[in-house]
Structure 1
Amino acid sequence: MKYRTLGSTTVSAIGLGAMPLSIEHRPDEERAVATIHAALDAGVTLIDTADSYHWHADERGHNELLIARALARYGGDTSHVLVATKGGRGRPGDGSWTVTGTPAHLKDAAEASRKRLGVEAIGLYQVHKPDPDVPWAESVGALRDLLDAGTIRAAGVSNVTTGQISEAHAILGVSLVSVQNEFSPATRDAEPALELSTRLGLAFLPWSPLGGISRSSLDGPSGTTSAGTTSAGTASAGTAFHHIAAEHGVSPQQIALAWLLARSPAVIPIPGSSRPASIQDSAGATEIELKAAELAQLDAALPKCHIDAPSPR
């Protein structure tokens, strides 16, 4: 495993997106815990979660509680593991997502997350998505208050535009350490956000980083990829990702993650996984060194995308 910088912390260059372990079509707890343990065994030290990663309406915090149990049951040292969580979204239980970015809600949500995770302070807390009904400066200001109160150690923002990143950075300064947006071979709308994050020294955490890569034996149930996203997309068997994967003797998912890692030292992908094999495969991407010609070939095969569009999740 190779490592990258997230604020003042060193974390694995590949993280674990834990959402598939708690939402629809989730595995049973035994397999979910085994997946988290497999990530730790592979050297993963960043686990991404949110209080809204659950299925039924009365399950808020399901994923956070699951991670806390898995870490407690792990046989090795977990003191170096950074659990990053998010607040500001909800799931009523009908499959939809809500957004609430008021300072009062974010502060209450962070405290509840802290208790579920069983920590003195949350290592990284992120506003899950800007609330169009709440001034962005107010939501970000709640992060400042949480930092001052010692509830969280570092702050991040998710599903944001470059303007929102700049505003958050002006308010939080060095306490802002991360941006989490959708970014993958199929979805590159956040390219400007990645470029700005790199310039500002912020870690860029792509969610659903395997979007557009076709199904394989590593995929989760019901036609989802190991990123927790549907396999429909621009990439299918026979694309440049698959050809280069065959040349390296690895999975196309590993090539997609290696391509992401090569885009910027700020990038720390967080592929979602619901099986031990999928996160073990993803972790191996840090050992792949793509040549300049291979990167050019991959870039040339990608479709055009809208730029700096807000993310739906």
Structure 2
Amino acid sequence: MSHPSPYRTLAHTTVGAVGLGAMPLSIEHRPDESRAIATVHAALDAGVTLIDTADSYHWHAGEEGHNERLIARALARYGGDTSGVLIATKGGRGRPGDGSWTVTGSPAHLRRAAEASARRLGVDAIGLYQLHKPDPAVPWAESVGALRELLDAGTIRAAGISNVTTDQIRQAHAILGDGLASVQNQYSPAVRDSEPQLRLSTGLGLAFLPWSPLGGISRSALDGPSGPTSSGTAFHRVAAERGVSPQQVTLAWLLARSPSVIPLPGASRPASITDSARAAHLHLTDAELALLDAAPAPRAV
């Protein structure tokens, strides 16, 4: 049986093994602010200490940083201790307001973006700042070099990179050294083509942060302790046998892939992140892991 730790190491600190992907709280179909803040508070109550945001997590034009400001307000209103919470934000993407996403990886933009993110978050230095996506119009070494400058200036405490290849990881590691703390790529039951990046990250001692980790495993009914509503995948079958949600099984499977993995399930309701956080304490057997490893990838939803 696999017994992954309920804690992981990221940016020289210890965090809960399951993080919160905060994007759904600010983009299209976002909840009202009271429910959004209640979702963040539920995450903290459940032991989540890594919250993932970005300056581009917003919906309409002119509201850049919506998600960062929301997270800052939620932490300020939380009644408990938030000193151990690590906020990871990202820069290098934009949203004009028409539903599209842009990419801007110039050093000047990244410096301005990081400084603006720090102000919105209300921190002297950002705990983890990640380059959101490589800009094909800017040499990779120049974009990563901006992260090096932000580290040296004390604007950020640790750097990360997202949506990257293995070659880009190696190059960033050569430039940033110990300042590089994380790789954030899409990885889920439905999307497993970042296996090489996961292996390389593990070998380099970098945290690997899967975004959209529940791809292919619907949360439409938030299958609860009474059992799942569908038995369409191996993840659902294991969940039914265990009496837990398929989402918990999915996240526990990801945690068992490597001690470097810290999945970032999105949530827009308190019940969703409360359920996801329980995966940090769900130990899958070797037979269950073998079944899930071999299962055909479900269709992404």
Range into which the TM-score falls when normalised by the shorter chain:
over 0.9
Written as runs of structure 1 = structure 2, the 5 A alignment for 1:184-199 is 184-199=188-203
Task: Give TM-score, length-normalised by structure 1.
Answer: 0.90
**Offset of 1:304 from its aligned partner?**
9.9
Using the aligned pairs only, state the percent identity.
79
**Offset of 1:237 from its aligned partner?**
3.6
User: In the alignment, which residue of structure 1 is the partner of 2:70?
Assistant: 66
The residue identity in structure 2 corresponding to 1:121 is A
For residues 286 and 165 of structure 1, the distance between their equivalents in structure 2, rounded to whole angstroms, comes to 27
Match of 2:252 among 247, 258, 264: 258
User: In the alignment, which residue of structure 1 is the partner of 2:140?
Assistant: 136
For residues 56 and 242 of structure 1, the distance between their equivalents in structure 2, rounded to whole angstroms, comes to 36
Asked whether the equivalents of residues 69 and 120 of structure 2 are also in contact (C-alpha less than 8 Å), the reply is yes
User: In the alignment, which residue of structure 2 is the partner of 1:145?
Assistant: 149
Secondary structure, counterpart of 1:65 in structure 2: helix
Asked whether the equivalents of residues 9 and 207 of structure 2 are also in contact (C-alpha less than 8 Å), the reply is yes
The residue identity in structure 1 corresponding to 2:33 is E
Unaligned runs of 5+ in 2: 224-229
Match of 1:41 among 40, 45, 48: 45
Match of 1:173 among 158, 177, 196: 177
RMSD after superposition: 1.4
For residues 216 and 94 of structure 1, the distance between their equivalents in structure 2, rounded to whole angstroms, comes to 26
**Offset of 1:7 from its aligned partner?**
2.7
Instruction: Confirm whether residue 271 of structure 1 aligns to residue 275 of structure 2.
Output: no
Unaligned runs of 5+ in 1: 220-235, 306-313
For residues 6 and 281 of structure 2, the distance between their equivalents in structure 1, rounded to whole angstroms, comes to 8
**Offset of 1:299 from its aligned partner?**
1.4
Secondary structure, counterpart of 1:177 in structure 2: strand
For residues 274 and 292 of structure 1, the distance between their equivalents in structure 2, rounded to whole angstroms, comes to 32
**Offset of 1:287 from its aligned partner?**
1.0
For residues 67 and 86 of structure 1, the distance between their equivalents in structure 2, rounded to whole angstroms, comes to 14
**Offset of 1:260 from its aligned partner?**
0.2
Instruction: Confirm whether residue 21 of structure 1 aligns to residue 15 of structure 2.
Output: no
**Aligned length, in residue pairs:** 289
User: In the alignment, which residue of structure 1 is the partner of 2:101?
Assistant: 97
Secondary structure, counterpart of 2:8 in structure 1: strand
User: In the alignment, which residue of structure 2 is the partner of 1:290?
Assistant: 284
Which string of whole-angstrom CA distances, capped at 9 and with x for unpartnered residues, describes residues 145-175 of structure 1? 0011110000000000000000000000011
User: In the alignment, which residue of structure 1 is the partner of 2:227?
Assistant: none
**Offset of 1:189 from its aligned partner?**
1.0
**Offset of 1:13 from its aligned partner?**
0.2
Asked whether the equivalents of residues 214 and 237 of structure 1 are also in contact (C-alpha less than 8 Å), the reply is no
Secondary structure, counterpart of 1:209 in structure 2: coil
For residues 48 and 21 of structure 2, the distance between their equivalents in structure 1, rounded to whole angstroms, comes to 11
Match of 2:112 among 101, 108, 111: 108
For residues 146 and 300 of structure 1, the distance between their equivalents in structure 2, rounded to whole angstroms, comes to 42
User: In the alignment, which residue of structure 2 is the partner of 1:120?
Assistant: 124
Asked whether the equivalents of residues 210 and 263 of structure 2 are also in contact (C-alpha less than 8 Å), the reply is yes
The residue identity in structure 1 corresponding to 2:177 is G
Which string of whole-angstrom CA distances, capped at 9 and with x for unpartnered residues, describes residues 224-263 of structure 1? xxxxxxxxxxxx7421111100111100000000000000
For residues 141 and 238 of structure 1, the distance between their equivalents in structure 2, rounded to whole angstroms, comes to 46
Which string of whole-angstrom CA distances, capped at 9 and with x for unpartnered residues, describes residues 262-289 of structure 1? 0000000000000000000000001111
Which string of whole-angstrom CA distances, capped at 9 and with x for unpartnered residues, describes residues 168-205 of structure 1? 00000011000000000000111100000000000000
User: 1:163 and 1:214, CA in 2 relative to 1: closer, same or farther beyond 3 A?
Assistant: same
Written as runs of structure 1 = structure 2, the 5 A alignment for 1:195-210 is 195-210=199-214
Asked whether the equivalents of residues 20 and 264 of structure 2 are also in contact (C-alpha less than 8 Å), the reply is yes
**Offset of 1:218 from its aligned partner?**
2.4
Which string of whole-angstrom CA distances, capped at 9 and with x for unpartnered residues, describes residues 19-73 of structure 1? 0000000000000000000000001000000000000011100000000000000
Task: Give TM-score, length-normalised by structure 2.
Answer: 0.94
User: 1:161 and 1:304, CA in 2 relative to 1: closer, same or farther beyond 3 A?
Assistant: farther
Asked whether the equivalents of residues 222 and 245 of structure 2 are also in contact (C-alpha less than 8 Å), the reply is no
Asked whether the equivalents of residues 11 and 128 of structure 2 are also in contact (C-alpha less than 8 Å), the reply is no
